[in-house]
Structure 1
Amino acid sequence: MVAKSRTPSEKKRESAIEALDSVLDSKFLTALSEPSRIEVLKQVLRYGRADVSELSKHLHFDRSVISRHLSLLQEVGILHREKSGKHVYYQLNPSAAIQKFKFILNHLEELVAICCPPAKTNSSN
């Protein structure tokens, strides 16, 4: 059986799809898909640098749940963690978070350009 050779545009399309798949299946987007984690993130954004004790005053979650959410957000690069004595403080890691979103957007734009070119308009209407 002879394998069908793919054209350069088919290869480019497949490569873009694979890249977007890896982005959409990433831990980064998974971290942002949990509503309670988003609530924790909103509180960090609202109060800036904060520890679990400070955040627990404004959230209706156990401290252990808040801590897990903070750890995951830090692991994927959304938050920055800093230890000071017995306290661990979290704050937004803006450059890393923005870079991740740009990466996702770039792959999405590439895929859209390949898969879904703009419809041609009929100028005779």
Structure 2
Amino acid sequence: MAIKLKSQAEKKKETAIEALDLVLDSKFLNALAEPSRVEVLKQVIRLGKADITELSEGMKLDRSVISRHLGILQEVGILIREKQGKHVYYQLDPRNAIQKFKSILQHLEELVMICCPPVKSN
């Protein structure tokens, strides 16, 4: 039985797909897949640095649910948590969040160029 060797292009495509799979299946994107968590994130962005009391004002979620969502967003690097005395404040971690989105975009661009190169028009 003959063994089919993969071409360089096939190997490159496979590597790009694997890299994109890792990014798309990441905890980062999973954290953003929950609509309530996105609402909590929007509230943090609106208010800037805020504690759970400030964040819960105007939200329909229980404080315990908001707190759990904040913990997940902090765990994946979207938020920064800072304790000051008895208060815990949350704010967006802009550099880390932007870097994660750039990584997703970079992997997607690489895969698109491999799988779907632009068609040259005459």
TM-score bracket for this pair, using the shorter chain length: over 0.9
Structure 2 gap ranges (5+): none
Assess if the C-alpha contact under 8 Å between 1:43 and 1:58 holds in 2. Answer: no
Identical pairs, percent:
70
Question: In structure 2, what residue type is equivalent to 1:38?
Answer: V
Report the equivalent of 1:87: 87
* 1:85 Cα deviation after fit: 1.2
Amino acid at match of 1:116: C
In structure 1, stretches of 5+ residues that fail to align are none
RMSD: 0.9
Equivalence for 1:29: 29
Would you say how many aligned residue pairs link Structure 1 and Structure 2?
A: 122
Instruction: Assess if the C-alpha contact under 8 Å between 1:40 and 1:66 holds in 2.
Output: yes
* 1:75 paired residue number: 75
Q: Which runs of 4+ in 1 moved over 3 A?
A: none
By how many angstroms is 1:39 displaced? 0.6
Compute the TM-score of the two structures, normalised by the length of structure 2.
0.96
**CA–CA distance in 2 between the matches of 1:79 and 1:53?**
17
Contact 1:23 1:104 in 2 (8 A): yes
SS of equivalent residue, structure 1 residue 58 = coil
> Partners of 1:66 and 1:87 in 2: how far apart?
15
